[in-house]
Amino acid sequence: MSNQLHGRVAVVTGAASGLGRAFAEALAAEGAYVVIDDINKAGGKATERRTLSAGGAAVFHRADISKSEEALGLIDTSFALHGRIDILINNAGVQHISPISEFSEEKWHQLIGVMLTGPFLTTKYAFPHMIAQKRGRIINISSTQGLVASEFKAAYVAAKHGVLGLTKVTALEGARHNITAVSVCPSYVRTPLAEMQIAGQAKYHGISEEEVAERIMLGPAALKHLLEPSEVAALVVYLCSDAAHAITGTAVAIDCGWTAR
């Protein structure tokens, strides 16, 4: 276990599985005290147990960050633990595959709420603490879909593009207080969220589920493989470290060459 983040308090949303779990475990391995957030209590508690069993420090707090009062509760609880919040990882995400003409307003509001309103709310409530301590790192998990678009993912693409704008404003407002903000834009990662898309992608593209990985998930990439959560987590840990203090207001792609063309 390293200690480059020793003594820092990190909040990770959407940490019951996949990328969020990898972030929580990696940050804890570097000495951070991690507050694990998710609406999935069983998964969140499992991440807590895994992190503790590996020698890290972590606690689970259930919150739906698309709701103002719950986002505030998450931040207040996190601050109460150690009197500071050093790192905020806005990772919570959901997915829905559907043409615009069939995309329900309910699903639209759900996705925008979790992936764009949620990061705004957690940032809004964490900002005063970071300003007071004159330090903060905010990492918003966007996607290659925040840089380019795909069919049948209107709300997801809109939210991920919006996250990039939110990140830029956060970086400009935070700079005078030594608060940085970065968007991380991964291509497809081997997570449950990616796996859940396969059937919908196959349906609307009119191809088999076996072809989805080859044509949709890997087709545009130069390197033909899915990212592993640990690869993205290593980048996030670096962006939270002192070595990355000058990286702010930008999108950092880890996309296997997806956006090179």
Q: What percent of the chain lies above the pLDDT cut of 70?
A: 99
Look at residues 156, 77, 78, 67 and name the one whose alpha carbon lies nearest to residue 120. Answer: 67
Look at residues 93, 24, 99, 29 and name the one whose alpha carbon lies nearest to residue 59. Answer: 24
How far apart, in whole angstroms, are the C-alpha atoms of residue 141 and residue 214?
24
The per-residue pLDDT for range 106-115, each reduced to its tens digit, is 999 999 999 9
In a domain, 175, yes or no: yes
In a domain, 197, yes or no: no
For the segment 9-28, the average pLDDT, to the nearest whole number, is 98
Residue type, 165: G
Confidence of residue 2 (pLDDT cuts 50, 70, 90): low
**Catalytic residue at 125?**
no
The structure's pTM equals: 0.95
**Is residue 32 a contact partner of residue 9, using CB atoms and an 8 Å limit?**
yes
**Is residue 152 a contact partner of residue 201, using CB atoms and an 8 Å limit?**
yes
The per-residue pLDDT for range 137-156, each reduced to its tens digit, is 999 999 999 999 989 999 99
The per-residue pLDDT for range 50-89, each reduced to its tens digit, is 999 999 999 999 999 999 999 999 999 999 999 999 999 9
Q: What percent of the chain lies above the pLDDT cut of 90?
A: 85
Q: Which of 33, 125, 156, 188 is catalytic?
A: 156
In a domain, 212, yes or no: no
The per-residue pLDDT for range 20-51, each reduced to its tens digit, is 999 999 999 999 999 999 999 999 999 999 99
83: region left, alpha or beta (phi > 0 left; psi from -120 to 50 alpha)? left
In a domain, 165, yes or no: yes
Range of the domain at 238: 9-189+228-247
In a domain, 217, yes or no: no
Number of independent structural domains in the chain? 1
In a domain, 75, yes or no: yes
- Specify the higher pLDDT residue, 194 or 24: 24
Whole-number pLDDT of residue 1 = 54
Q: Residue 123's domain is classified under what CATH number?
A: 3.40.50.720
Q: For residue 260, what are the contacts with CB-CB under 8 A and spacing of at least 6? A: 222
In a domain, 222, yes or no: no
In a domain, 260, yes or no: no
- Specify the higher pLDDT residue, 82 or 216: 82
